[in-house]
């Protein structure tokens, strides 16, 4: 794996002896590399859709290679209460 890609995926701390940052809470982490969508962008779209199918259609996340499918499902499970609140 290329070093720059690994750094974006795992967000390790630059301080020796500190813990690795939890990547599931980093809103700036790229979740979908095909569409270059961050976790924050996907979560921001959730109030405007009713379900995962509509979220994929609105953001185009997980519609090309499906490599982010598990991460997208985890993110949706974590923020499921946001679906449709702006509708």
Q: Where are the domains of the chain?
A: 39-87
Provide the pLDDT confidence category of residue 87 given band limits of 50, 70 and 90.
Answer: confident
User: pTM of the full predicted structure?
Assistant: 0.71
Q: Which tens digits make up the pLDDT trace of 11-68?
A: 443 444 444 445 556 899 999 999 999 999 999 999 999 999 999 999 999 999 999 9
DSSP E strands in 21-71: the ranges are 30-32, 37-38
């Amino acid at each position: 794996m290329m070093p720059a890609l690994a750094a974006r995926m795992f967000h390790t701390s630059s301080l020796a002896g500190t813990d690795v940052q939890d990547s599931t809470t980093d809103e700036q982490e790229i979740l979908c590399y095909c569409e270059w969508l961050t976790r924050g962008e996907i979560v921001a779209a959730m109030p405007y859709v009713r379900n995962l199918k509509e979220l994929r259609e609105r953001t185009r996340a997980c519609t090309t290679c499906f490599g982010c499918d598990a991460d997208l499902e985890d993110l949706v499970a974590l923020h499921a209460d946001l679906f449709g609140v702006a509708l």
